[in-house]
Chain A
Amino acid sequence: MRFALAWSSLRRHTTRTLLATLGVAVAAAMLLDMVMMSTGMRESFRELLLSRGFQLRLAPKGTLPFDTDATIKNTSGILTILRTNPAITTVSPVLGGTIQIPRGNRVVTSSALGINPLVQGDYELLAGKDPLADDAIVGNDDFLKATGARIGDTLDIASGYDPELRTYAASRKMVLTGRVRFLYGAADQLATAMRLGTLQQLSGTEHANDASLFMIRIRNDSEVEGVRRWTERMIPGVSGISTATALVQVDQRLSYFRQLAVILGSVSLFVGFLLVTTLVTVSVNERIGEITVMRALGVSRSHIVQQIVMEATALMITGSIAGLGLGLATGHYLNAILSSFPGLPVAINFFLFQPSSAWTALGLLALSGIAAGVYPSFRAASLPIATTLRQDAIA
């Protein structure tokens, strides 16, 4: 009965109801996007960091991994120190660099990672083999496309380009053994990986024992913080970055987007609430005579309140359901825009859909729908019957 009355009231003004539903749908879409953005990028980054099970990273003191060109000296010495800690199960040293590949009359420049292929956590092998030999190299699709090379091809790899003399500090022939996808790679970035020792040799004597980063796997998650403090104490030139501290850093750098999400999400919720409140209030004002007659016929106050709250909630929920689809589409579009940030790993999503995001948005809108119906319903239910009927008859 209550639902039927609420439904007929909404159907009475089709244009108005449709516009309100559309308004709520846009507000809901915006709210869902903002909920997705406020939690998505953090979650996406966390998933990326933990994707290969390395809970701790060591970078040159005061820097984030690969944030600068700074390197950590004495890699072998550091590896020896790290292996003395029984809580550490795996250490994967990584050196970053740039290599040049002369192809005919042009030179292709690519980023290169020096890794230990047995414990690496930087790429996923798609085809072929890991670079187990000293003269082996693997590349991503962009690299293969830019060089026109295929698995099994031998490439001239050079490094240390001297622009004054137009010569290279080092060069060697290497065999392309695999096609890989780099987990932290940016869009359109040419990237390769080879054994750490090979890249150290190519980087010259200055970097013969350098690493840019150490990725560390620890036996228990509860020991991560202890190991982080231990590494900073034992190796003074490094900063230990656990997943938690990396997330704090990311939060700081991307705080603008999180705050924007909170502000725009709140505004969307408020706009949806205001729209439904206004519509329901006007609708109740138009039906004051009708409501008073119902009251005079013996319909209880709670019945009136429930009917009006139901009307507001129905508007909100219908609009929200339409808005969820719209939100996913706009979220996908907005994510495509932000994913084109230079240097941002392709795997990072700013708008990560999680069922909890949809439930949060839907729950908030349903609550605001109920709140939007509270004021007009109480006002309608508390009108004095005789006076209101008389005023309505005179009008």
Chain B
Amino acid sequence: MPLLAALLLIQHPLQRTIAIDERLAEDAHIRIGDRVVVSGAPNATMGDTVIVSAIVKRGADPAEIARSEYRVRMHLDQLQSLAGYGDRVDRFAVATRGPAATEKALAEINASAFGFEAHRSRDIAVETSKTFQVVSRFHKAIGFITIVASAIFLLCIMLLKVEERRRDIAALRLMGISRYTVVLSVVAEAALLALVGSALGIALSYIASTFINWYYQGVYRTPLYFSLITPPILTLAVVLSLVLGIGAGLLASLRLARTPPISLFGR
């Protein structure tokens, strides 16, 4: 049996394998088992022939979306050799048993390390996500402007809606219905409208969000989610809509309730 294994090794010398990402596989029409030549420089005449042993799914890394880059995973020693990197690496990833162990390891490594420094993964994530912090701030600013515009729109609509009821309100007042009841009924109507509008808005936002994710995941070829509707966002939208709707209804109804019914009839 060992002899057979040795013979097989002679017939098929150990070929290095690499893993490529699905984007590269699709664009270059590479399949598992294909032989490719990898080199450390463009148009190099020399290189290593390797077998593609795996096609890996791309991670949902926001840092990569704007770059149409391909990813190849290969054995460390082979990349070191190809890149002329010697026995060097860019970083070590260290797994610890928990937060306390992380702190201890960090302190010990930094106390004894010569030529390198240990960082928490969390700190590195903060440092490398500055681009997305900028995008997030931009989205928040745009969101604020949108909310202001929506608020004014909602106020206008509610004002008009209540103004349309001038004659109804005048009739109710002439029949002896109290100002309080009139205001309450208008506010209840406004709240119901705001609630129904919010429900429709939520449904619309789910459809829009699904479309946005489908479209941008296709454009950037990434599993990343571009639009996420979270409970706090829903709560903010509904609360804002209710507050604005009720506020506008209250303002308009109070104004109408204070006006003499005959004036409301336009007489």
Q: Which residues of A contact B (CB under 8 A)?
A: 13, 15-16, 19-20, 22-23, 26-27, 29-30, 60-62, 162-166, 236-237, 252-256, 260, 264, 268, 271, 274-275, 278-279, 282, 330, 333-334, 337-338, 340-342
Bound CA–CA A338/B115 (angstroms) = 36
Give 1 or 0 for each of B23-61: 1 = CB within 8 Å of chain A CB: 000000000000000000111000000000000000000
Kindly list chain B residues whose C-beta atoms are within 8 Å of the C-beta of A282: 160, 163-164
Bound CA–CA A236/B153 (angstroms) = 59
Bound CA–CA A256/B157 (angstroms) = 33
CB-based contact A15/B159 at 8 Å: yes
Closest Cβ of chain A: how far from B7's Cβ, in Å? Answer: 43
Q: What does DSSP make chain A's interface, helix, strand, loop or mixed?
A: helix
Kindly list chain A residues whose C-beta atoms are within 8 Å of the C-beta of B43: 61, 236-237
CB-based contact B153/A23 at 8 Å: yes
Bound CA–CA A337/B138 (angstroms) = 6
CB nearest neighbor in A for B66: A253
Q: What count of chain B residues pass the 8 Å CB interface test? A: 31
CB of B142 within 8 A of chain A? yes
CB-based contact B159/A19 at 8 Å: yes
CB-based contact A275/B156 at 8 Å: yes
16 residue pairs bridging A and B, Cβ less than 8 Å apart: A20-B156, A22-B152, A23-B152, A23-B153, A23-B156, A27-B149, A30-B146, A165-B115, A253-B67, A256-B66, A256-B216, A268-B149, A278-B156, A278-B157, A330-B141, A334-B138
Kindly list chain A residues whose C-beta atoms are within 8 Å of the C-beta of B131: 341-342
CB of B200 within 8 A of chain A? no
**Taking A279-B156, A282-B160, A282-B164 as contacts, is the C-beta distance between A23 and B134 under 8 angstroms?**
no
CB-based contact B141/A334 at 8 Å: yes
17 further A-B contacts with Cβ under 8 Å, apart from A13-B163, A23-B153, A236-B42, are A16-B159, A19-B152, A19-B156, A23-B149, A23-B156, A26-B145, A62-B42, A163-B116, A166-B114, A254-B66, A255-B219, A264-B142, A264-B146, A271-B153, A334-B138, A334-B142, A337-B141
**Taking A15-B159, A19-B159, A60-B42 as contacts, is the C-beta distance between A29 and B130 under 8 angstroms?**
no
Closest Cβ of chain B: how far from A269's Cβ, in Å? Answer: 12
Kindly list chain B residues whose C-beta atoms are within 8 Å of the C-beta of A340: 134
Bound CA–CA A330/B130 (angstroms) = 22
Kindly list chain B residues whose C-beta atoms are within 8 Å of the C-beta of A29: 145
Kindly list chain B residues whose C-beta atoms are within 8 Å of the C-beta of A60: 42
CB of B230 within 8 A of chain A? no
Bound CA–CA A20/B242 (angstroms) = 20
Kindly list chain B residues whose C-beta atoms are within 8 Å of the C-beta of A165: 115
Interface residues of B in 168-208 (CB under 8 A from A): none
Bound CA–CA A275/B157 (angstroms) = 8
CB-based contact A30/B41 at 8 Å: no
Kindly list chain A residues whose C-beta atoms are within 8 Å of the C-beta of B11: none
Closest Cβ of chain A: how far from B238's Cβ, in Å? Answer: 20
CB nearest neighbor in B for A342: B130
Kindly list chain B residues whose C-beta atoms are within 8 Å of the C-beta of A278: 156-157, 160
Interface residues of B in 108-160 (CB under 8 A from A): 114-116, 130-131, 134, 137-138, 141-142, 145-146, 148-149, 152-153, 155-157, 159-160
Closest Cβ of chain A: how far from B103's Cβ, in Å? Answer: 23
CB-based contact B42/A341 at 8 Å: no
Pick the most buried of A16, A26, A165, A264: most chain B CB atoms within 10 A of its CB.
Answer: A26
CB nearest neighbor in B for A61: B42
Bound CA–CA A373/B108 (angstroms) = 74
CB of B68 within 8 A of chain A? yes
**Taking A264-B142, A275-B156 as contacts, is the C-beta distance between A252 and B68 under 8 angstroms?**
yes
